[in-house]
Structure 1
């Protein structure tokens, strides 16, 4: 089993780049662990006194902020400047974090402006950590994928998911092999929840055409409400990535209700492989269930009888989306990963609800984090 790093387990975690794709996922992972993350601004917004105050007494520093889409000079200057700013703050802190983590890239040292600047940034942070007697983790990350990546910017996975969710047909331009790592796994490496010695076991080597094939099959299956085979962690993470784009296009899944004099029947879910668990609840009027989120678990809510409102909110945002559902017009809502959610009985009668999850509930690893919608 992956082991936790042995330092920096207590206190707040200082981090740069919290507003970006990997930063958002890392903040979410820290939140799920019950710890606190505190931002450190870099670049033009950098203030050394503020940075020193944030770093002083922190459990670890995770440096994610970087520049990868700009002119060569801007890329070089940006990455080196950000690292130099963090080095200055570390040197000035009376009680610097015992662990300094750099979200580096496997492109470091490849001769490009980006690769050279990432290598230089690692040297800067590594040198100051060595001088101060701090543990330095240089985490070289490959191609990242995950929920809410920016299409046509973050990675080809984001672009494929966006196009497929919108009903388009992506094309493969360069069918090369990619090493893919889910952003939540990357976050676990950066926070020390999983030892960096296990990084290779979390990565998936895959051709771009194979990636598109998986995502296309996911899109085709999910268009009818079916869940593809998500028995393998990579397939589950890739499907959850696709779902984050599909949810904005079609959050509700209409179900076909068949009725005759005997009563009515409708199919709730069709899963094409892997273990799963179904459960059923009754809820009194005015009562809510939920107010939690999942990092990796897939969960489907279906009202069988009664009236309810399902509310969801993307973590770290204030906007709440609500869906009014009733057993008379059966539909399912799949909970997006990293979105707090709840269901409230808004009717006058008992609410009957079916819940489905793609995995068996495990008390030791429930993947259920309390958070009010």
Structure 2
């Protein structure tokens, strides 16, 4: 059994989402802070196999940045060292800024030292994940990452502004979650980061915003570029859940372009669905997927993981539109009416049975 601090935060949501898709039990949550109950912390830690310490203070005064991160570590360390059955592993979401001559860097480093003493005292392994700039779907603008801020600006019609142009390591929250859950060894974390100037990231996102118009799909590379596109899509979906198609109709019939892309072939599929039947009921972590109903009537239903937020989009072959499915949203298509539904699906990569990136999940 895992216990987790910071479960309600940005990285916490991504870790919980990955654990859910892997079929793990929901981690027991621990609340830390000045008003936290020491007995509740101790009770949660006792008997746990692993503690995932994701909680931290990243936006506050210098004193709170330093002292808040240390306080969290001290509260957790006290629970670990007084436990009758201490955890075998403590995973600490540290930062590459740990040890820097800043209040944040000093606080994160001191927190690491506190946790290391506690882990040594009970014979536990401390996994020190020195994370770079973590970005991902549904991050908070002006808080979690410049990527979230740039995406929010672009999808809201504002011009993104470059305040500081540092060279930073960028790693997606989905990749970070794999390290937190131990799917990948901590020794590989440094090589998983993409080092870019902030201005380079901003330019990439401006290009994505420019390319993602009409039926066009931005160029992808399966790595950082696709991660950036998926974060951008997590922001753009609310304002543009449906992409209208420019049809060409004459006495012969109609022609609609469904996807235009420089990413390569990908995979295009076609399905028919009998009235009343539901297809899908799954979720993707990485894939860029596009639906287009070209016959019959249907409802595309989507739900963001770990929430009850459901979006329903009526679609019809009489007026074809395109719907791009955001990553980490369960989705299905339901045939309604009395006609069979014909649907064209496009995905940016061919299906690989060894790496299907498809997890069953009811909407």
Query: Does the TM-score normalized on the shorter chain lie above 0.5?
Result: yes
3-state SS of paired residue (1:249): coil
How far is 1:62 from its partner? Answer: 0.8
**1:347 maps onto 2:341 in alignment:** no
Write the deviation string for residues 193-213 of structure 1: whole angstroms up to 9, x where unpaired: 111121122111111221111
Q: Which residue of 2 aligns with 1:122?
A: 112
Secondary structure at the residue paired with 1:244? helix
1:30 maps to 2:28: no
In 2, are the aligned partners of 1:14 and 1:62 still within 8 Å (CA)? yes
Aligned length: 362
Could you give the per-residue CA deviations for residues 341-360 of structure 1, whole angstroms, max 9, x where no partner exists?
Answer: 11100121100011111111
Give the direction of change, closer, same or farther, for the CA distance of 1:275–1:91 in structure 2 (3 Å limit).
farther
CA deviation string 1:274-322 (max 9, x = no partner): 4511111111111111111111111111101010111111112112111
- Report deviation, 1:87: 0.8
Q: Determine which of 14, 31, 42 is the counterpart of 2:32.
A: 42
Deviation per CA, 1:165-203, whole angstroms, max 9, x where unpaired? 112221222222121111111111111011112112211
Asked whether the equivalents of residues 231 and 274 of structure 1 are also in contact (C-alpha less than 8 Å), the reply is no
Q: Distance in 2 between matches of 1:140 and 1:225?
A: 40
Which of 230, 250, 257 lines up with 2:247 in the alignment?
257
The Cα RMSD (Å) is: 1.4
Say whether residues 1:132 and 2:122 are aligned partners: yes
TM-score by length of 1: 0.94
**1:7 aligned residue:** none
Alignment partner, residue 299 of structure 1: 289
Superposition pairs for residues 168-179 of structure 1, below 5 Å? Answer: 168-179=158-169
1:91 and 2:81 equivalent? yes
Whole-angstrom distance in 2 between the partners of 1:274 and 1:100: 43
**CA deviation after TM superposition for structure 1 residue 229, in Å:** 1.8
Unaligned 5+ segments in structure 2 are none
Quick one: distance in 1 between partners of 2:234 and 2:21?
19
Residue number in structure 2 paired with 1:246: 236
Tell me the CA shift for residue 264 of structure 1.
1.4
Q: Distance in 1 between matches of 2:248 and 2:35?
A: 60
Does 1:205 pair with 2:205? Answer: no
Summarize the alignment of residues 61-76 of structure 1 with structure 2, pairs less than 5 Å apart: 61-76=51-66
**Inter-partner Cα distance in structure 1 for 2:41 and 2:280:** 37
Q: CA deviation at 1:156?
A: 1.0
TM-score of the superposed pair, with normalisation by structure 2: 0.96
Aligned match of 1:9: none
Between stretches 181-190 and 252-261, larger displacement belongs to: 252-261
Structure-to-structure mapping, 1:301-320, within 5 angstroms: 301-320=291-310
- Of 269, 274, 281, 1:279 maps to 269
CA distance in 2, matches of 1:318, 1:68: 29
- Name the counterpart of 1:5: none
1:13 positional shift: 1.9
For 2:35 and 2:333, the matched residues in 1 are separated by 41
Once residues 284 and 93 of structure 1 are traced to their aligned partners in structure 2, the CA distance between those partners, rounded to angstroms, is: 57
Are 1:223 and 2:224 matched, yes or no? Answer: no
